[in-house]
Amino acid sequence: MPKKMNYQNFFSDVMEWINACNNKVKTVGFNSNELWQWVSYSLAKLCEKYDNHSLAQAQSVMLWNWLNEAEDEFNVKKGVKVN
């Protein structure tokens, strides 16, 4: 049975993560290893905070994919070849 979690706190933390991510992109840029290391670390910490609840894991994957798509769109606009 899934562990109970406080959804309001969780989604508040997700919003805080998105804001922090936007700030990180502004300071280090999309195409930096520093950004993706921070993303990996911070999403893992978010999952751990909520005992690796399935919703936290699914949300983290969604955020990773969203950010990856945003990076691709950014690169296309800048004329950078996307894999």
pLDDT in tens, 43-81: 999 999 999 999 999 999 999 999 999 988 888 888 777
The pLDDT of residue 2 is 57
| Structural contact between residues 61 and 69, judged by C-beta atoms closer than 8 angstroms | no
pTM: 0.87
The pLDDT value recorded for residue 80 is: 72
Neighbouring residues of 81: CB distance < 8 A, sequence distance ≥ 6: 75
The Cα–Cα gap between 27 and 9 comes to 27
Q: Report the distance separating Cα 70 and Cα 66, nearest Å.
A: 6
Residues 82, 37: contact at Cβ < 8 Å?
Answer: no
